[in-house]
Structure 1
């Protein structure tokens, strides 16, 4: 089955920070792929902007290089790249000054959707928003797109939201979390709310616990200065893992509309219990086999005394009727054995085993894989094939999207979906301001707790599964982590 491509209306997409790493690696290749399959045509335009004094032709040439280097080559031809780059224009502006804004404004059309993508540092968010508003470039129908981080704590998130709302209404603000654009994340909602099989079982009566894992095999090389001020809690848990938790635990919305979905996500965050320090494990990688010079987190971060965590695991409880008594175990870290992101839902064991002596009967495990190899697996217990009586074994019902839906074509990058949602004006997969603030209100006391105790993160070897404290966190409850990479 080939996915049906729904064209979008003509747009002017302005990409601030167009010469930066994110634009080159993700945003511009994503736009090219949407153009390549016909989702928008030559009536649409992409206007790059940064402080760099470039000509439009130089920007087109840089974009063509980025597509060839970072795009997914599925029969891309030079003619397609040339046709796409012909839609590009460029304007150098000073985000904090007056230079370039008048010339930039002259490039925009009145009869097209205006979207402003801020692929810049957070310190420039309010400056650019103010300039767009004061110059009249931003209209009441314009959209503004922001990359995380959305603040460093609750106070800064509230200040950022207040500053943005001086110039844009909430309906115009799109806070991107690329995890929400992944195919499997959206399939989690389809799995729950479009199938009568799972939803009656989706509660504490039938689910023993849930594990949410985002493991990375690489370290913080190249972004150590930023990461050392953030850490795994701020960089991953407060946003990415929180979003996965919300989609797993949320109540069915009355309808699939942006505010209905986001209302239910906010309710999950507000129902989270405070997390005691005894339910938290923090770690920092030290290199293989105890640390080889140049391989440790502290070497990569350039801070020999750093107490910033590169790994964190938490036991989280949602205090409502659906989930009372069912813990959610969250973990994320750098320099682990393999790169894997997944949600594992552990159903309770059968109440009675009639097959005594034939093998152990465990509850089913539903695994939603985000990366690599997006798909859904249900672990079941079956009879071991062959003679010899009733012997039980485990088997997986596996739906790997690339195998089950081979005609759907090249996997769609999360940025492709999210950028087109901006153009369509669909905010379902974007974080709302109160959602961001609620997440920080939950995260801030956790961070303050370990800062008050002064306990450093526990060292762990690169290429492993994390610090020992993480194992104890779940083992003391009589449970085990899924092996990373299994």
Structure 2
């Protein structure tokens, strides 16, 4: 029976294009855990995967269409009817990647079978239909050349585009990588080749760009003056699990560090690109990679996991691993980027197998970046001339002590906290049930709280007091009605906040002393050469 008997039955004769996706290495770990689930997510979105598509798995294992679908089903997370519909698009062709010595010089017959299967699907569409072919190589790089040769000789589309996607690792070293690139580029045009790192598609990695460049307050913090070290930690909750034959050839450094983690490091360390185009992104990454000092043995730690306390087998207990293998499954390397922003800051890359998921953390002396906080907390950091607010919900507070230490605190109801730093003391008397006392050297920090607040900010030669319900001061006075009152004096920066009903705000700073007259609808603020007006709700 033809492989096409249960796929492509509903192809529309009026379609303008169809796409055949061939996943080479379909029985492997990468294809089952990453490639097929990613294709399923595109299928769920409907508009991201063409309507007229077939997904052909190709590997050496003897398998039927149903056997492939049964293997894939456990990796596809979604509604049963959508999973079933997607699996009907998936068929299987068994074949070799390399020709035997006796077959050298002959046409690769297994790739001809793959080409015939694709052509059978395309034959259900009219002759003027665009018939595109995508070949995804979820394979070790040692078989890239013969596979690409088979694709070139047998499987290129005569009626549309043909594209080849190659995964990491791309060779074992510089020499093999250059040789591999030369062989593949001799078969395909550059526009037909896509060298990818699937980690760049992860949400946490994509969010690095947004976190860094969409939040303007992070830019002045993201440098050697605020960050003592950056740790990029990769953990997997499983061992090689039958992948030892592949993994032992490459090890944890080639498998993860020189691709996944260096890509993440480049995103963390690079400057803002001119645009988000692939070329501009690549240029900025390349600048960072060129600034990395050569890795030394003194900054490298290697290891290999052994049998766990729960009886989980060690690396050498895997039947696919050569006896006595010294292949590392754990590594920690310390890299340094020799440029103005990161000079002297160690980038610590730590991948290993067992025991959890993927984590990214950047830790520093005066700052901790990024902060992953519960939904009830929004956190920002203050550094140098930048001052930022903290938004706190009831019974939760975060405080950061600037200087040589960065510390967050979670305050439950009826808790009190004090952090002392420098010669300046900034007290906040918070009602109800929460008290927070933070001393911040030359910097004043702000907390927005949902209840009645009395706030006192001390800064330089300027004194801004707020009392409830009456005020007496030699510099400036504002009468605040119940609810919330806020003001912050900070260096040369003057910040406004929108307050709750029945609240007015004014800020005085510098050599200018102002007395704000509170009116029902607003108040005026004098700021050196600047006069600004804030309107309040009542």
CA contact (8 A) 2:140 2:246 kept: no
Answering whether residue 338 of structure 2 is matched by residue 319 of structure 1, we say yes
Answering whether residue 85 of structure 2 is matched by residue 83 of structure 1, we say yes
Instruction: Tell me which residue corresponds to 1:37.
Output: 45
Answering whether residue 254 of structure 2 is matched by residue 234 of structure 1, we say yes
* Distance change >3 Å, CA 156–CA 105, structure 1 → 2: same
> Whole-Å Cα distance in 1 between the matches of residues 54 and 305 of structure 2?
45
* Distance change >3 Å, CA 303–CA 253, structure 1 → 2: same
Answering whether residue 26 of structure 2 is matched by residue 18 of structure 1, we say yes
Query: How far has the Cα of 1:162 moved from its partner?
Result: 0.8
In structure 1, runs of 5+ residues without a counterpart are 1-7, 350-362, 370-375, 395-486
> Whole-Å Cα distance in 2 between the matches of residues 25 and 223 of structure 1?
13
Provide, for residues 263-294 of structure 1, a one-character-per-residue CA deviation record: whole Å limited to 9, x for no partner. 211221111101221111122233347xx998
* Distance change >3 Å, CA 200–CA 22, structure 1 → 2: same
Residue 345 of structure 1: which of 351, 362, 365 is its match? Answer: 362
Superposition CA RMSD, Å: 3.5
CA contact (8 A) 2:69 2:90 kept: no
* Aligned residue-pair number: 359
Residue 55 of structure 2: which of 46, 69, 74 is its match? Answer: 46
* Distance change >3 Å, CA 282–CA 173, structure 1 → 2: same
Which structure would you say has the larger RCO, counting Cα contacts within 8 Å and 6 or more residues apart? 1
TM-score by length of 1: 0.65
Instruction: Tell me which residue corresponds to 1:286.
Output: 306
* Distance change >3 Å, CA 83–CA 308, structure 1 → 2: closer
* Distance change >3 Å, CA 295–CA 171, structure 1 → 2: same
Secondary structure, aligned partner of 2:342 = coil
Instruction: Tell me which residue corresponds to 2:473.
Output: none
> Whole-Å Cα distance in 1 between the matches of residues 108 and 144 of structure 2?
16
* Distance change >3 Å, CA 280–CA 175, structure 1 → 2: same
Provide, for residues 169-226 of structure 1, a one-character-per-residue CA deviation record: whole Å limited to 9, x for no partner. 3332222322111101000011112221212322212222111111234333322233
Q: Comparing 246-255 with 376-385, which one deviates more in the overlay?
A: 376-385
Secondary structure, aligned partner of 1:15 = strand
> Whole-Å Cα distance in 1 between the matches of residues 108 and 273 of structure 2?
45
Instruction: Tell me which residue corresponds to 2:36.
Output: 28
Instruction: Tell me which residue corresponds to 1:66.
Output: 71
Q: Is the helix fraction higher in 1 or 2?
A: 1
Provide, for residues 368-416 of structure 1, a one-character-per-residue CA deviation record: whole Å limited to 9, x for no partner. 79xxxxxx9878526775576735799xxxxxxxxxxxxxxxxxxxxxx
Secondary structure, aligned partner of 2:130 = coil
> Whole-Å Cα distance in 1 between the matches of residues 145 and 76 of structure 2?
31
Query: How far has the Cα of 1:331 moved from its partner?
Result: 1.1
Instruction: Tell me which residue corresponds to 2:368.
Output: 364
* Distance change >3 Å, CA 137–CA 322, structure 1 → 2: same
Secondary structure, aligned partner of 2:26 = coil
Instruction: Tell me which residue corresponds to 1:195.
Output: 215
Residue 98 of structure 1: which of 104, 108, 119 is its match? Answer: 108
